Homo-oligomer: A and B are copies of this chain.
């Protein structure tokens, strides 16, 4: 059944697949009226724009290897099944924050969806210093709703366990385990360094007892905490947006994991953008710090609100006493405090690995002056080390913002 499509064979495939054909072409139109263009910027997959005079859609197909390396790095195309299932769940929970899914095929490992041609990638936009006043409102909703409504706080015990099983995502979790939680903390051939970054700064955190224990703790949580269906790769390259709309894309890393992972990866990418700013970019810096604060605080409020409203509807016997709702609130505050600690821990790992591991963030890696880039990287390493070491003592997001400001 499965075959790898290319710009030629895709027309044939679309012509035969009514559900897709009817999305872009009228019955009377010939398949030759369809323009096919491969975007060519995916690390893992092939992404095609299918365009007729009136309409355009995206077709994304997974191939059985890692695209950015080639056929010699095999990677099962089952990842598209996880992406499809996660997209469907997230679309149901946050309809306005996830692109429309028009068609999907597990056999062909492909998904057809809304073409976000009026939207741009958040990372690129942040590198261009564009401000998005609604972004933090949107992302905090995405986080609070996808993470609460796939958790045991909301789902039935049996349904949730079946979901955990369905989303056991062996291969893509292994990539995260290796490239976020292992290789960057050892002398591994896959790591890449800015030649101007003095290696003593790398060695310092790599042989720091507390950093090491913190990273292991976060890796273990990543591997053992089935709290909610995560996006699994929520950096600023997985978000497309404009001034009005925000879309979260590419959830092929989805699995049941610790809530703080999604929140932490996202915040880490904001923090790294902040560190990448030049000294005369204070205004954008304040905007980024504001995003960090707003995202965390609104996420916390919305998650708590979901918890309380859900309990009010369920009216479980367990809280059926005068102070019951207060006690649930007390528990929720404690729980969110734990998520906060996890968020700091995961954010630190993301910051460390994006500096000394294989994958870099363009915000920093594209700084042309390697000496200045090294200074930025030192600040990232210092902050991440400090954050992971003090995560249990940090009381609120303002303390983090003050730490970051002091570093810069």
A residues neighboring B (CB under 8 Å)? 152-153, 157-158, 160-162, 164-165, 168, 170, 173-174, 177, 182, 185-188, 206-207, 209, 212-213, 216-217, 220, 223-227, 316-318, 320-323, 326-327, 330-331, 334-335
**Interface pairs A-B: 3 shortest CB-CB:** A186-B317, A213-B331, A186-B318
On chain B, the residues within 8 Å of A170 by CB distance are: 157-158, 161-162
Alpha-carbon distance A160/B168, docked complex (angstroms):
11
Q: Are B213 and A330 in contact (CB under 8 A)?
A: yes
Given the contacts A157-B173, A161-B168, A173-B161, A182 and B216 also touching, CB distance less than 8 Å: no
Q: Which of A153, A185, A223, A318 has the most CB of B within 10 A?
A: A318
Copies in the complex: 2
The residue on B at minimum CB distance from A212 is B327
The residue on B at minimum CB distance from A210 is B330
The residue on B at minimum CB distance from A226 is B224
22 inter-chain pairs at a CB distance below 8 angstroms, sorted by A residue, are A153-B220, A157-B174, A157-B177, A158-B170, A158-B174, A161-B168, A162-B168, A162-B170, A164-B168, A185-B318, A186-B316, A187-B320, A188-B317, A207-B321, A212-B327, A217-B331, A217-B334, A220-B335, A224-B225, A224-B226, A224-B227, A225-B226
Alpha-carbon distance A282/B209, docked complex (angstroms):
45
Minimum distance in angstroms from A131 CB to a CB of chain B: 38
Q: Determine chain A's interface SS by DSSP, over half rule.
A: helix
Minimum distance in angstroms from A261 CB to a CB of chain B: 13
On chain B, the residues within 8 Å of A316 by CB distance are: 186
Minimum distance in angstroms from A57 CB to a CB of chain B: 34
Minimum distance in angstroms from A25 CB to a CB of chain B: 42
Q: Are B320 and A207 in contact (CB under 8 A)?
A: no
The residue on B at minimum CB distance from A207 is B321
Minimum distance in angstroms from A339 CB to a CB of chain B: 12
Apart from A162-B168, A164-B164, A225-B226, what are 11 other A-B pairs with CB-CB below 8 Å? Answer: A157-B170, A158-B174, A162-B170, A186-B316, A186-B320, A187-B320, A212-B327, A220-B335, A224-B226, A224-B227, A226-B226
On chain B, the residues within 8 Å of A185 by CB distance are: 318
On chain B, the residues within 8 Å of A212 by CB distance are: 318, 327, 331
Within 8 Å by CB of A213, from B152, B168, B327, lies B327
